[in-house]
A and B are shown apart, each in its own frame.
Chain A
Amino acid sequence: MESQSIHFKKRVAGELANAQLQSNMRRFGGRFKMARAKVVGEVDDWEGTRSAGAEARDRALNNLDTWIERFESEATRRGATVLFAETGADVAELVIDICRRHGVKKAAKSKSMLSEEALLNQRLEAAGVQPVETDLGEYILQLAGEVPSHIIAPAIHKSKEEVADLFEREHHRPRTLDIPQMTREAREVLRAHFLSADMGISGGNFLIAETGSVALVTNEGNGRMVTTLPRVHVCITGIEKVLPTLEDLSLLMRLLPRSATGQSISNYFTVLTGARQPGDRDGPEHMYFVLVDNGRTNLVGGDMQEMLRCIRCGACMNHCPVYQTIGGHAYGWVYPGPMGSVLTPSYVGLENALDLPHAATLCGECSVACPVKIPLPDLLRKLREKQVERGLRPASERLGIRIWSWVAQRPRLYAFATRVATRYLRFQGGRARMISHLPLGKGWTLGRDMPAPPGRTFRELYAKRKAQ
């Protein structure tokens, strides 16, 4: 997916004016958040488990090269082929190569955000391979020609009415608003694809170094279909997803489904190791791993490394009041919400996503919810600092902050300036004591009034009181 993040403000305006989206977001609202709140209590020491999860991820990341090598040798030993892709374009190239080698015409996909980074569907189609999304949400979006707006609930921005219209148009069957019926319809269409696909493409929630396995966490069962039915299975995932041991996996699995959907465990949890072996009753003949960098190594060992802990649960966006207000598409690239506001500038360039690090109130809900304790507000602030260091902020903004700070360091000048300001604002407020238009704060007064001050500063009044 090509980044549109530079147009964030324009996209936000569109989403705020989109009544359908606003109603959908409100309806969905805090559902995941409430579900999560209900199940975290099942774990004896949730906070301690979060800390342990963060430590497990750090252990993997601090020796990432070692664990990737271990993963590669274990996976290879068990009959899989491990390939590395530096960029999104490389991912597509490798997958197309594999398609050619095995005569693949159709690829059934389970959910993979990395394939969005790689524009994989578009590139497969251009190479004559038909990609079919089989995750229900992704399937809906493929029919609609849209991109995901949430990393685990990709079609969260759509109402069932919109989906019903879409299914009626694409499936040529009578329109229904009954969700089980709609799901059945999609299953019937997809079943034929599962059986006729030559290749299955999946993402990977975790890679396990000691066994060379991939772990998949899904709810619809399509993940198992695409990884076992077709002749070839390609698993595409980021290099940072590696865990040293199965013990680490079991720890993180206590955190992931609870943080994501508020489930104690997902409907399906699969650990896949190698291709079909003699005596196996099913499984693909060929298994490939495409491990992707696409900007990740730039974060290893630096001051943003904590971001690589991310296990893609979506809790940060479920808890983000900004995301809940504007939806995921406004962010303009693959990953929305707080994690996206850190990842997008990191992967597509600070200068290509200028607004994202600032599009947060730093309210801290995301970092409190994050199962691996990523200090998201701190990372956003670091990106803001990097923008200032690289001269990427508007001159007026930098000057404004400098002047404020310069004046605030000079108490007598400050006292004078604030006396003038409070009187001016008092005057502006008129009899109602409300300011409806601020020349230097249009952003504020477009949607709100500004309560006017009484016209004298605390310092003035306090000095007077002390003199009495």
Chain B
Amino acid sequence: MRVGLFVTCLVDLMRPNIGFAALELLESAGCEVVVPATQTCCGQPGYNSGDRESARALALKVLEEFEACEYVVAPSGSCSGMIRTHYPDLFRDAPADLDRIERLSARTYELTDFLVNVAAIARVPGKYRGAVTYHDSCAGLRELGVKAQPRALLAKMDGVALTEMEDCAVCCGFGGTFSVKFGDISAAMAEKKCEHIQASGAETVVLGDLGCMLNIEGRLRRRGDSRTRVLHVAEVLSGRDLKGD
């Protein structure tokens, strides 16, 4: 299986470890992974800010870079949701590109969804031991139906004990540019999420999107919690939670 890894701009810039974790997981699943070197951003910031033109230009760039791949996989529900559910909308009035875009969308997957439902992996290499709680990120959950997949993968790890927190499927308050435009609302929402994480008793919160990670970790640290770890599910599954960057 030839899989194109869409690293995402946030992972590229803020936490490369997740990119390598995804890469290793896909390789351990027997995939031939290609990482197009020119990839940048999926166009979601423009799309959600009302600038369709910018979003379309970046969508065409993603199309060029990944069209040759059998599958496109991203360690993010948000970015894969953008490609899978919103790209066709961007091109609804451009029939010349729509067909190609739809074919790309249909074979784009969020990482855990791909590992469970396409690659059907039997084992995961991670060695994490301890109690974790899982935060469902919005786009992954509600646009792509990512809910059972990460939990099924974590369940393959003997050392992982999953304790669900209250409101695990409620937004953490990130919302892209929302987090800066309405920083006060966003931080208040993150605060509720942090309370639920702490009440769960887990020592680590695991999740599948870097936006939520930065938001939750940033709020945890600000409120004085330097202990609770915030890890991407790919880091936990691959065993890269133990490695530094």
Chain A bound to chain B: yes
Q: Mark A151-192, 1 if CB is under 8 A from B, else 0.
A: 000000000000000000000000000000000000000000
Query: What chain A residues lie within 8 Å of B221 (beta carbons)?
Result: 434, 448-449, 451
Contact at B188–A447, with CB atoms within 8 Å?
yes
Query: What chain A residues lie within 8 Å of B214 (beta carbons)?
Result: 450-451
B210 CB to nearest A CB, Å: 10
Contact at B19–A361, with CB atoms within 8 Å?
no
Query: Please, how many angstroms separate the alpha-carbon atoms of A450 and B174 in the complex?
Result: 12
Among A367, A409, A457, the residue within 8 A (CB) of B61 is A409
Query: What chain A residues lie within 8 Å of B185 (beta carbons)?
Result: 12, 16, 322, 325-326, 359
Query: Please, how many angstroms separate the alpha-carbon atoms of A414 and B7 in the complex?
Result: 14
Query: What chain A residues lie within 8 Å of B14 (beta carbons)?
Result: 422, 425, 451, 453
Q: If the complex has contacts A361-B174, A453-B14, A456-B16, are A368 and B142 also in contact, measured as CB distance less than 8 A?
A: yes
Q: Mark A406-449, 1 if CB is under 8 A from B, else 0.
A: 00110100100010011001000000001010000111111111
Among A9, A405, A448, the residue within 8 A (CB) of B222 is A448
Query: What chain A residues lie within 8 Å of B217 (beta carbons)?
Result: 449, 451
Contact at B188–A443, with CB atoms within 8 Å?
no
B190 CB to nearest A CB, Å: 6
Contact at B48–A30, with CB atoms within 8 Å?
no
Answer yes or no: B215 CB below 8 A from chain A CBs.
yes
Contact at B175–A446, with CB atoms within 8 Å?
no
Contact at A449–B170, with CB atoms within 8 Å?
no
Answer yes or no: A401 CB below 8 A from chain B CBs.
yes
B151 CB to nearest A CB, Å: 19
Query: Please, how many angstroms separate the alpha-carbon atoms of A16 and B188 in the complex?
Result: 8
Answer yes or no: B173 CB below 8 A from chain A CBs.
yes
Answer yes or no: A27 CB below 8 A from chain B CBs.
no
Answer yes or no: A268 CB below 8 A from chain B CBs.
no
Q: Mark A329-349, 1 if CB is under 8 A from B, else 0.
A: 000000000000000000000
Answer yes or no: A100 CB below 8 A from chain B CBs.
no
Among A409, A418, A443, the residue within 8 A (CB) of B181 is A443
Answer yes or no: A454 CB below 8 A from chain B CBs.
yes
Q: Mark B155-198, 1 if CB is under 8 A from A, else 0.
A: 00000000000010011011111111111111111111000000
Answer yes or no: B139 CB below 8 A from chain A CBs.
yes
Query: What chain B residues lie within 8 Å of A409 (beta carbons)?
Result: 40, 57-58, 61
State which residues 190-230 of B face A: CB under 8 Å.
190-192, 213-215, 217-219, 221-222
A334 CB to nearest B CB, Å: 21
State which residues 35-55 of B face A: CB under 8 Å.
35, 37-41, 43, 45-52, 54-55
Q: If the complex has contacts A325-B185, A326-B185, A365-B171, are A448 and B192 also in contact, measured as CB distance less than 8 A?
A: no
Query: Please, how many angstroms separate the alpha-carbon atoms of A454 and B244 in the complex?
Result: 9
Query: What chain A residues lie within 8 Å of B175 (beta carbons)?
Result: 360-363
Q: Which residue of B lies closest to A454 (CB)?
A: B245
Q: What's the dominant secondary structure at chain B's contact region? A: helix
Q: Which residue of A lies closest to B61 (CB)?
A: A409
Query: Please, how many angstroms separate the alpha-carbon atoms of A260 and B181 in the complex?
Result: 31
Q: If the complex has contacts A325-B189, A450-B218, are A404 and B38 also in contact, measured as CB distance less than 8 A?
A: no
State which residues 360-379 of A face B: CB under 8 Å.
360-365, 367-368, 378
Query: What chain B residues lie within 8 Å of A368 (beta carbons)?
Result: 142
Query: Please, how many angstroms separate the alpha-carbon atoms of A350 and B95 in the complex?
Result: 30
Answer yes or no: A89 CB below 8 A from chain B CBs.
no
Contact at A398–B51, with CB atoms within 8 Å?
yes
Q: If the complex has contacts A444-B179, A448-B215, are A401 and B54 also in contact, measured as CB distance less than 8 A?
A: yes
Among A359, A384, A436, the residue within 8 A (CB) of B50 is A384
How many A residues have CB within 8 A of the partner chain? 66
A232 CB to nearest B CB, Å: 45
Query: Please, how many angstroms separate the alpha-carbon atoms of A459 and B5 in the complex?
Result: 12
Contact at A446–B183, with CB atoms within 8 Å?
yes
**Tier of interface size on chain B:** 35 or more
Answer yes or no: A393 CB below 8 A from chain B CBs.
yes
Q: Which residue of B lies closest to A402 (CB)?
A: B54
Query: Please, how many angstroms separate the alpha-carbon atoms of A243 and B181 in the complex?
Result: 40
Answer yes or no: B11 CB below 8 A from chain A CBs.
yes
Contact at A449–B222, with CB atoms within 8 Å?
yes
Answer yes or no: B72 CB below 8 A from chain A CBs.
no
Answer yes or no: A126 CB below 8 A from chain B CBs.
no
Contact at A458–B48, with CB atoms within 8 Å?
no
Query: Please, how many angstroms separate the alpha-carbon atoms of A436 and B222 in the complex?
Result: 8
Query: What chain A residues lie within 8 Å of B46 (beta carbons)?
Result: 401, 404-405
Contact at B45–A401, with CB atoms within 8 Å?
yes
Q: Mark A185-221, 1 if CB is under 8 A from B, else 0.
A: 0000000000000000000000000000000000000
Contact at A411–B16, with CB atoms within 8 Å?
no
Q: If the complex has contacts A444-B183, A451-B217, are A458 and B51 also in contact, measured as CB distance less than 8 A?
A: no
Answer yes or no: B20 CB below 8 A from chain A CBs.
yes
Which of B55, B177, B182 has most A Cβ within 10 Å? B182
Answer yes or no: A385 CB below 8 A from chain B CBs.
yes
Q: If the complex has contacts A30-B167, A384-B50, are A447 and B184 also in contact, measured as CB distance less than 8 A?
A: yes
Query: What chain B residues lie within 8 Å of A325 (beta carbons)?
Result: 185, 188-189, 192
Contact at B190–A447, with CB atoms within 8 Å?
yes
Contact at A443–B179, with CB atoms within 8 Å?
yes
State which residues 1-20 of B face A: CB under 8 Å.
7, 9, 11-17, 19-20
8 residue pairs, one from A and one from B, having the closest CB atoms: A447-B187, A361-B175, A443-B183, A384-B50, A454-B245, A405-B54, A448-B218, A363-B171
Q: Besides the contacts A358-B177, A361-B186, what 10 more A-B pairs have beta carbons closer than 8 Å? A: A359-B178, A360-B175, A361-B171, A364-B138, A405-B46, A408-B61, A411-B38, A449-B219, A451-B14, A451-B15
Listed in ascending order, the chain B residues whose CB lies under 8 Å from chain A are: 7, 9, 11-17, 19-20, 35, 37-41, 43, 45-52, 54-55, 57-58, 61, 89, 138-139, 142-143, 167, 170-171, 173-192, 213-215, 217-219, 221-222, 244-245
CB<8 Å pairs between A and B, sample of 22:
A9-B182, A12-B182, A13-B184, A361-B178, A363-B170, A364-B143, A365-B171, A381-B47, A388-B51, A397-B49, A401-B46, A404-B54, A405-B41, A411-B37, A411-B39, A447-B191, A449-B221, A454-B17, A454-B245, A456-B245, A457-B13, A457-B16
